[in-house]
Amino acid sequence: MVNSDFLKNLNKAQKEAVIHLEGPLLIVAGAGSGKTKVLTSRIANIIKERKAFPNQILAVTFTNKAAKEMQTRVSKLLGSSATGLSWLGTFHSICAKLLRKHCSVVGLNSNFTIIDMDDQTRLIKNICKAENIDFKKIAPKYIMAIIDKWKNKGLYPNEVVINSKELYEKNILPIYKIYQQKLKELNSCDFGDLILHTVKILEKNSDILEMYLKNFKYILVDEYQDTNYIQNKWLNLLVSKDQNICCVGDDDQSIYSWRGAEIKNFLEFDKVYKNTTVIRLEQNYRSTENILSVASALISNNQNRVGKTLITTLEKGDLVKLNCFKNGKDEATGISDEIEKIKKRYSFNNIAILVRAIFQTREFEERFLKVGIPYRILGGTKFYERAEIKDCVAYLRLVYQEKDDLSFERIVNNPKRSIGDNTIKTIHGFSKEKNLALEASSKIMIEQNLIKPKTKIGLRIFLNLMNKWRNDLNIKKINHIKLLQIILDESGYSAMLKNKKDLENESRLENIKELLSAMKEFDNLESFLEHVSLATSIDQEWEGEKVNMMTMHGAKGLEFETVFLPGWEEGLFPHQKSIEEKGQNGLEEERRLAYVGITRAKRKAIISFSMNRFYQGDWIDSMASRFIDELPEEYIEKNSIFDETKEEIDDFEFNQDFENDDEFRSPGWNRYQKRIK
């Protein structure tokens, strides 16, 4: 008999998911449908109905926060009966526990250490040095990412098969072999090993596997749509003959393929586990009816999905706004004006701006600093505090002011010019003794042969470049935007980012392009540098009321009263790279990302795009995102926000069918033209 306490405040579908305890169960949990409540009530029900002891339940989450939340909720439901949930935790924490017991099978001692990312980086660097591999061209983080990819696919070094086209991977495989050997020698493993070793142990040792098959009566998995190959393999192995596995997730929120997540785990669940029961949690407790209608209509264009229809008992609410702006600056201004209007009704903490790419925050930061709207960047750094931006600004500062020692220190060996810390320390000592700036000291030390020959070459090249750039600025009167482009080219900084295989370099390059756009707003280098100084002097304080800015990826799992979704333009969203690399699958993941963005909103959702954007020193035409065509008209309020007259506004069509003689077109524009021909 089910204890009625667990059924309180549960809707029909939630109750069904809680009391269904026999056989495989897939819970398709829509956004804001109370999946955590269902999972915890289900665990409590299993224990209360004496279907299993707490230590016979395997409950897996992706984050420690989620695991702690689940433990707390179960404890509230059961009190002392909830003690003993020893197998509730993250994939990594549970696998670490298993591995401690059986580590000798993979050649480790029970006191093995788990190395973090810093230790991984250091170990990879040491291996590269020992093997004479230039890690300046292939970043250690990139090497780690490839190794992690192999581990996520369940592959030890001797099991990896290299595609002939994957030249970089061919070079990384020998590193992987040495890396694994070193880890064994150090009696260590990385996070990828925790799951990989455990899977290999279970696969090759039937006695160990049988022990856990007998122990785990029920398996529950949260955020199942985010599982990768090796995580799913591990779960498959641990499912007993009763097949009491319950996976909860939302295929419409599968947005992490770049981390290795495989949506097919979710879509093919019923093929792997015969006689699967599918329960859909479609009652949304977060958003208004209009917001849900827009999100549902959009995601219905995806082919690869289980399918569900979200409903709500909340009011219809405001129509979802769709705003068209003339340019990106106007978009930032329009959104800040809207925030000013609603701030009395909604606190800043309950307002979010969700962007596709992190470089997009710049224009909003600029505007918010100007009008005094407090903000925070979640999961990222303020624009002018990002390393590549600080590097660019340092180059410009030193060109402008040769006594700027802080800038000299930052960029004299960036990119690498064989000028090490010892040399800089020596220059510092000379500078202090002679009471000179670091650059002036360097010149004298070269003249007096106080610098090592190899270092002298690199330092002289740098000093000559500085003189050349000052001549460009002061004699040739080259404007500050062109000057930075010259500096990035001639210093080798652009080449360093383009040539170095690094996962983060694409984002860094996008940020630099956005910096070039920002500089357009200033008449000269002096005014721009002054602006940067003022912008960076304001500390990022997390306390108090602040508007939240973040990427849509970073917003998953969060909710806000009001959500702004700017930059819905072809090439930016859906992102050009995603479509080029993954085709239709990439497009569908981008659409899922749009769905996630919209469903973060509880009361107000405002989507916007711009007709033009300033990009790398030139104005380009933008096309409205194809996703905008997929939004249902009856739930949308369209607004064209221009400074021009009403007549001109009325002439504007949301299909972007207008003429422009400008030769510059966004990638999205060009792609759209091919699509409509």
The CA-to-CA distance between both ends of the chain, in Å, stands at 64
Compute how many other C-beta atoms are within 10 angstroms of the C-beta atom of residue 598. Answer: 26
Q: Which of 35, 356, 591, 602 is catalytic?
A: 35
222 is catalytic: yes
Which residue reads 């279970």 in tokens?
202
DSSP string, 436-469: --HHHHHHHHHHTT-S-HHHHHHHHHHHHHHHHH
Q: Tell me the two tokens of residue 406.
A: 């802080």
Given its phi and psi angles, is residue 478 left (phi above 0), alpha (psi -120 to 50 degrees) or beta?
Answer: beta
The one-character DSSP state at 608 is E
CA-based torsion, 435, 437, 442, 447: positive or negative: negative
Task: With beta carbons less than 8 A apart as the criterion, state whether 40 and 77 touch.
Answer: yes
Q: Which helix (H) or strand (E) holds 316?
A: none
Compute how many other C-beta atoms are within 10 angstroms of the C-beta atom of residue 524. Answer: 13
| Closest to 539 in 3D by CA, of 655, 387, 404, 385 | 385
Please state, in angstroms and rounded to a whole number, the distance separating the CA atoms of residues 484 and 412.
16
Please state, in angstroms and rounded to a whole number, the distance separating the CA atoms of residues 191 and 43.
27
Q: Which of 16, 36, 69, 490 is catalytic?
A: 36
Please state, in angstroms and rounded to a whole number, the distance separating the CA atoms of residues 437 and 430.
10
251 is catalytic: no
The one-character DSSP state at 83 is T
List phi, psi (to 5°) of 354. -110, 120
Q: Which of 42, 305, 397, 600 is catalytic?
A: 600
One-letter amino acid for residue 105 of the chain: V
Please state, in angstroms and rounded to a whole number, the distance separating the CA atoms of residues 199 and 106.
11
- Half-sphere exposure of residue 16: CA atoms within 13 angstroms, side-chain side: 14
556 is catalytic: no
Helix axes 206-215, 229-238, angle to 10 degrees: 70
CA-based torsion, 221, 226, 229, 230: positive or negative: negative
Total residue length of the chain = 677
The one-character DSSP state at 138 is B
Task: With beta carbons less than 8 A apart as the criterion, state whether 442 and 455 touch.
Answer: no
Q: Which of 14, 61, 180, 253 is catalytic?
A: 253
Please state, in angstroms and rounded to a whole number, the distance separating the CA atoms of residues 341 and 356.
25
CA 478 from chain centre, in angstroms, equals: 37
CA 316 from chain centre, in angstroms, equals: 32
Please state, in angstroms and rounded to a whole number, the distance separating the CA atoms of residues 394 and 126.
30
Please state, in angstroms and rounded to a whole number, the distance separating the CA atoms of residues 89 and 70.
9
35 is catalytic: yes
Pairing label, strands 218-221, 57-61: parallel
36 is catalytic: yes
253 is catalytic: yes
One-letter amino acid for residue 297 of the chain: A
Q: Which of 193, 223, 365, 514 is catalytic?
A: 223
β-sheet bridge partners, residue 606: 321, 564
Alpha helices in 131-164 (DSSP H): 140-152
Residues assigned a catalytic role: 35-36, 222-223, 253, 600
